[in-house]
C-alpha cells in the first residue's frame, strides 16, 4: 500500500497474513522515503514476503490563483484557484494572514449561489475526528468541499478545512473582502505538506460614460445606446423612472472585453410583449443585456428603502414598481405598467455602481451608487414624404447595403419595366413594429426584410399603418393592379431601413412577374404610406380579444378600429404621403440621324455611336453594329457602354477600314436583349444639322436656349420661330425651349429631403447652362 511520511500518515495499517489476523499500526512520521517490509521474530528471510511490503513517499502540494489581483466589486471579484497534489484524495487546512476569519475564508472558497448553501452560517461545523473518519465529506460545501471547525477547536475562527478533495481548479470570490495583499496557506491535515498562494484585492473605482448625453429617437423605432465602463465589466442600468411612467432594470456586461457595452432597444415592444420576451426588446451583438421587465435581470438586485432595509414583499422588483406607483399591486406583472406603447417623452438611463436600488421617503427611485447618467428622448413619429427612384435591373435584394443601393439609384417618376423600382418614404415610428411583426431578429435592421414584412405591418391588428402601391385606375371588372406583398421573397420585394434617420426603402424587381398582377406601358401607379388616427379614441392595448392582446391594441383597446399608437384621437391627426409614377416600356434613340432616318457613323478609328434611353442609369448595356448583306468586308462589332445619369450612352468603334455608303444596323442591347435598332450608314463626315434644321430637333430632343439647339445645330446654329418647340423622341421641353431630357420623368441624384432636392435642381440648372454654352 502507499502511505506518506515526513510527510506521512500518522498511522499505517498493514494486514497480517497469519492465521491470527493481527493488524500492525506503524507511525511513518520519522521515516525516510523508500520501500519497507515487515518480518516476524527469528531469522531474516532471504526474500521478503511481498504482502508485508509498503512504500513511504512524500506528499507534494501546490496552490495558485489564476489572477494576481482581483477587484472588490461588492458583487463579483472572482478568479480561479488551482490545487494539485500527488495524492488521490486528501484534506487541507486553509488560513490567511491579516486575520481573515473563518467566515471570510468560507465565503471566498464557497460559491453560495450554486452550492445549495445560502451562507457561512449554514455550513456544518466539524471536528478533526469528523474529517479523519470521513463523515464530514457528506456535509462539505462547494467545489472545494469546505467545512468549518467547531468553535472549541484550536484556531477554529481563523481557518477552514477542505476535505476529501482531489486535484482541481475552481472559482473563488473575494467580494466584500477589504483591499490589501493576502497570503493563503494550505496545509495537509495529516502530513507536513504545505504551500502558499498570494493575491491582491483592490478597491474598485467604477465609472460609466455614455456615447451621447442625450439619445434621440422617434417613439416606436429602435434606439442604440453605448456605455463605456471603467474599472468594471458589468453594471445595472435603470431605464426610465416614475416621472416617465415606466421603469426597467437592466443588467449589462462587456462580453468582448472592449470596455463598453452597446445594445439596441425596440421602443415599440418595450414594456408590452410579456415577461419572457427579452429577445423581442433588447439586443447586443457583442455584449450581454438582460431585462427585469422581460427577463430575470433583477434576480441579484437588492431593492431597499431609504434606511437600507429590504422592501417588504416576496416579489422585490414588482414591489419596487408598486412603491413607485407604476403598477397597482406587487402581484401585478411588471409588463402591465403601460396603457399603450412608450410615448414621446424623456427617459433617464441611470447606471448604478452596485446592485442596490432605493425608494426614498418621497417615493422616488434612486440608484445607490450612481456612476453614469444619460437620457433617451423619444420624439413624436410621423410621415414626411414618399418619392420614387429607379435602379438597374437586378433581383430586389441584389445588395443588403443601403449606401451601395443609394449609389446606384436615380430619382424618377417614370419607371422603365424590368428596372428596379425603389420607393423611399421619410417616416418614423414603424420600424419597431416592422421588426416584431415580421418575426425578424435585430440583424434585419442592417440586412433587410422580405416584402412580407410590409404585409405583416399592414395586417398588424389595430396598428393603423398602411403601405400600398396601387394602379390609379381599375381595368374593367377587375380591381386595380397593386403590388403583391404577402409571402413575397426578398428577391421580388426587398426592404431596407435606416431606423436612426427615419428612412424606409422598398425595392421592387419589376422584371419578376410575381411582384404585380400586371403592368403595362403607360400604367399609372400611386405609392402611399398612411398612419391612421381614430376619430374618437386613442390607441390602447387590447384585453382578452385574441388578435388584439399586447403588444397589439386598437382604438380604446376594446374595439377593432385602427388607431396609430402615437397619435391622439381626431381625424385631423391622420398623416399620409404619396408619390405617383408611371411604368413605360424600354426604349432608346440614337444621335446623328440623317433625313433618311439612318444613324450616321463616321469612318474613323474612334467612330462614336451615341444616344439616349429610358433604361435606369448605371445599367451595363452594349451597342452592336452589324453590316448588311453585301457589305465587304462584313463586320459585327459590339462595345460595352454604361447608361449615364442623364440617360445617355456612347460607344466607340474602329471603322477605319470601311467604305462610305456601307449599310449596317445599330442596336442597343441589355442583358442579351435588343432595346432599340435603327438602320445605319458609314459616312466620311457626319452632316451638320443632322439633328434637324431651322430649330427642328433631332432624336436627342435637346433644345438650346431660346431655340438654340444644344448639340447638333443647323448651318447657322439657330432654330426657327418655333423656339425649339418641335422636340425629338421624348418631346419634353425645358423652359424657353430647353429640353427636359427624359420626357415626363424627373431625374435626380441619390439623396433625401427638400434640401437635397433643392441642390439637385440647382445642379440641373447648371448642367443646362453648360449645354447651352
Residue located via cell numbers 446606384:
408
Q: Which three cell numbers stand for residue 98?
A: 491579516
Local structure of 653: helix, strand or coil: strand
| Averaged pLDDT, 744-771 | 41
pLDDT value of residue 120: 77
| Averaged pLDDT, 350-363 | 94
Q: Which three cell numbers stand for residue 746?
A: 424627373
| Cα–Cα nearest to 674, from 685, 666, 686, 664 | 666
The count of residues in the chain is 773
| Cα–Cα nearest to 130, from 163, 158, 85 | 163
| Cα–Cα nearest to 149, from 138, 137, 139, 157 | 157
| Averaged pLDDT, 668-691 | 88
Residues 244-280, buried b or exposed e (16+ Cβ, 10 A)?
bbbbbbbbbebeeeeebbbbbbbbbbbbbbbeebbeb
| Averaged pLDDT, 280-284 | 98
| Averaged pLDDT, 97-120 | 78
Q: Which three cell numbers stand for residue 687?
A: 452632316
pLDDT, tens only, 419-442: 999 999 999 999 999 999 999 999
Local structure of 389: helix, strand or coil: strand
Distance from the Cα of residue 92 to its chain's centroid: 50
Local structure of 701: helix, strand or coil: coil
Q: Would the CA dihedral through 63, 65, 69, 72 be positive or negative?
A: negative
Report the run of H or E that residue 390 belongs to, with start and end. Answer: strand 383-391
pLDDT value of residue 42: 53
Distance from the Cα of residue 368 to its chain's centroid: 32
pLDDT, tens only, 70-83: 886 545 688 999 99
Backbone angles phi, psi at 298, to 5 degrees: -85, 5
**Of residues 686 and 315, which shows the higher confidence score?**
686
Identify whether the C-beta of residue 324 lies closer than 8 Å to the C-beta of residue 363: yes
Q: Quick one: pLDDT band at residue 305, thresholds 50, 70, 90?
A: very high
Question: Whole-angstrom Cα distance, residue 301 to residue 367?
Answer: 11
pLDDT, tens only, 702-755: 444 444 443 344 344 334 334 433 343 443 333 333 343 443 434 444 444 444
pLDDT value of residue 36: 65
Q: Which of 234-248, 339-353, 519-533, 752-766 has the least mean pLDDT?
A: 752-766
**Of residues 766 and 650, which shows the higher confidence score?**
650
Residue located via cell numbers 498493514:
14
pLDDT value of residue 614: 97
Residue 346 has pLDDT above 90, yes or no: yes
Average pLDDT over all residues of the chain: 84
**Of residues 617 and 19, which shows the higher confidence score?**
617
**Of residues 412 and 133, which shows the higher confidence score?**
412
Query: Which positions ≥6 away from 636 have C-beta within 8 Å?
Result: 624, 625, 626, 627
**Domains by residue range for the chain, with CATH:** 2-57 (no CATH), 61-203 (2.60.40.1930), 207-379 (no CATH), 383-534+567-584 (2.60.40), 587-686 (2.60.40.10), 705-773 (no CATH)
Question: Whole-angstrom Cα distance, residue 253 to residue 264?
Answer: 14
Residue 773 has pLDDT above 70, yes or no: no
Residue 587 has pLDDT above 70, yes or no: yes
Amino acid at each position: 500500500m502507499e502511505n506518506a511520511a515526513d510527510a506521512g500518515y500518522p498511522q499505517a495499517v498493514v494486514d497480517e497474513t497469519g492465521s491470527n489476523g493481527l493488524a500492525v499500526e506503524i507511525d511513518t512520521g520519522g521515516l525516510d522515503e523508500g520501500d519497507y517490509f515487515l518480518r516476524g521474530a527469528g531469522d531474516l528471510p532471504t526474500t521478503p514476503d511481498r504482502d508485508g511490503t509498503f512504500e513511504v513517499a512524500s506528499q507534494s502540494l501546490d496552490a495558485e490563483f489564476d489572477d494576481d489581483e482581483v477587484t472588490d466589486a461588492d458583487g463579483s471579484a472572482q478568479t480561479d484557484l488551482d490545487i494539485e497534489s500527488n495524492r488521490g484524495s486528501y484534506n487541507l487546512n486553509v488560513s490567511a494572514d491579516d486575520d481573515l476569519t473563518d467566515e471570510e475564508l468560507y465565503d471566498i472558497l464557497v460559491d453560495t449561489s450554486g452550492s445549495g448553501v445560502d451562507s457561512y452560517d449554514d455550513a456544518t461545523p466539524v471536528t478533526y475526528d469528523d474529517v479523519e473518519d470521513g463523515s464530514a465529506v457528506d456535509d462539505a460545501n462547494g467545489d472545494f468541499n469546505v467545512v468549518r471547525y467547531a468553535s472549541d477547536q484550536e484556531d477554529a475562527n481563523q481557518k477552514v478545512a477542505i476535505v476529501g478533495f482531489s486535484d482541481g481548479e475552481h472559482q473563488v470570490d473575494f467580494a466584500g473582502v477589504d483591499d490589501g495583499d493576502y497570503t493563503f496557506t494550505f496545509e495537509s491535515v495529516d502530513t507536513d505538506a504545505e504551500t502558499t498562494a498570494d493575491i491582491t484585492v483592490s478597491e474598485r473605482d467604477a465609472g460609466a460614460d455614455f456615447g451621447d448625453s442625450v439619445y434621440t429617437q422617434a417613439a416606436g423605432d429602435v434606439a442604440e445606446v453605448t456605455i463605456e465602463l471603467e474599472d468594471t465589466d458589468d453594471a445595472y442600468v435603470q431605464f426610465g423612472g416614475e416621472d416617465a411612467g415606466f421603469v426597467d432594470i437592466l443588467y449589462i456586461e462587456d462580453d468582448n472585453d472592449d470596455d463598453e457595452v452597446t445594445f439596441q432597444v425596440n421602443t415599440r415592444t418595450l414594456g408590452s410583449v410579456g415577461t419572457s420576451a427579452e429577445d423581442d426588446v433588447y439586443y447586443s451583438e457583442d455584449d450581454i443585456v438582460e431585462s427585469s421587465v422581460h427577463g430575470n435581470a433583477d434576480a441579484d438586485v437588492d431593492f431597499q428603502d431609504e434606511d437600507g432595509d429590504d422592501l417588504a414583499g416576496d416579489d422585490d422588483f414588482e414591489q419596487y414598481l408598486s412603491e413607485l406607483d407604476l403598477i397597482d399591486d406587487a402581484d401585478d406583472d411588471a409588463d402591465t405598467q403601460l396603457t399603450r406603447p412608450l410615448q414621446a417623452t424623456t427617459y433617464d438611463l441611470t447606471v448604478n455602481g452596485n446592485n442596490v436600488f432605493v425608494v426614498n421617503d418621497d417615493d422616488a427611485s434612486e440608484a445607490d451608487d450612481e456612476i453614469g447618467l444619460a437620457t433617451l428622448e423619444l420624439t413624436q413619429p410621423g410621415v414626411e414624404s414618399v418619392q420614387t427612384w429607379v435602379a438597374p435591373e437586378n433581383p430586389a435584394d441584389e445588395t443588403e447595403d443601403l449606401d451601395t443601393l443609394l449609389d446606384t439609384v436615380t430619382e424618377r417618376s417614370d419607371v422603365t419595366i424590368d428596372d428596379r423600382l425603389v420607393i423611399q418614404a421619410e417616416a418614423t415610428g414603424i420600424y419597431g413594429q416592422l421588426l416584431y411583426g415580421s418575426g425578424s431578429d435585430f440583424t434585419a435592421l442592417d440586412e433587410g426584410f422580405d416584402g412580407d414584412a410590409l404585409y405583416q405591418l399592414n395586417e398588424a391588428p389595430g396598428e393603423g399603418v398602411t403601405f400600398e402601391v396601387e394602379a390609379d385606375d381599375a381595368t374593367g371588372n377587375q380591381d386595380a393592379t397593386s403590388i403583391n406583398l404577402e409571402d413575397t421573397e426578398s428577391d421580388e420585394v426587398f426592404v431596407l431601413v435606416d431606423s436612426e434617420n427615419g428612412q424606409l426603402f422598398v425595392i421592387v424587381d419589376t422584371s419578376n412577374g410575381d411582384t404585380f398582377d400586371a403592368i403595362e406601358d403607360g400604367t399609372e401607379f400611386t405609392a402611399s404610406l398612411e398612419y391612421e388616427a381614430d376619430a374618437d379614441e386613442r390607441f390602447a392595448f387590447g384585453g382578452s380579444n385574441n388578435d388584439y392582446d399586447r403588444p397589439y391594441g386598437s382604438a380604446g383597446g376594446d374595439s377593432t378600429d385602427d388607431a396609430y399608437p402615437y397619435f391622439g384621437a381626431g381625424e385631423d391627426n391622420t398623416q399620409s404621403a404619396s408619390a405617383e409614377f408611371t411604368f413605360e416600356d424600354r426604349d432608346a434613340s440614337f444621335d446623328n440621324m440623317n433625313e433618311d432616318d439612318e444613324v450616321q457613323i463616321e469612318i474613323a478609328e474612334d467612330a462614336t455611336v451615341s444616344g439616349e434611353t429610358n433604361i435606369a442609369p448605371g445599367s451595363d448595356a452594349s451597342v452592336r453594329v452589324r453590316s448588311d448583306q453585301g457589305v465587304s468586308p462584313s463586320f459585327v462589332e459590339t462595345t460595352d457602354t454604361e447608361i449615364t445619369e442623364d440617360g445617355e450612352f456612347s460607344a466607340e468603334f474602329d471603322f477605319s477600314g470601311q467604305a462610305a455608303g456601307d449599310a449596317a444596323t445599330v442596336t442597343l442591347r441589355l442583358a442579351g436583349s435588343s432595346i432599340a435598332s435603327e438602320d445605319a450608314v458609314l459616312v466620311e463626315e457626319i452632316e451638320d444639322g443632322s439633328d434637324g434644321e431651322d430649330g427642328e430637333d433631332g432624336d436627342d430632343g435637346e433644345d438650346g436656349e431660346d431655340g438654340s439647339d444644344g448639340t447638333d445645330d443647323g448651318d447657322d446654329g439657330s432654330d426657327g420661330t418655333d423656339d425649339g418647340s418641335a422636340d425629338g423622341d421624348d418631346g419634353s421641353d425645358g423652359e424657353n425651349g430647353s429640353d427636359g431630357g427624359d420626357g415626363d420623368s424627373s431625374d435626380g441624384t441619390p439623396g433625401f429631403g427638400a434640401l437635397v432636392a433643392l441642390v439637385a435642381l440647382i445642379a440641373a440648372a447648371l448642367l443646362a447652362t453648360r449645354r447651352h454654352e
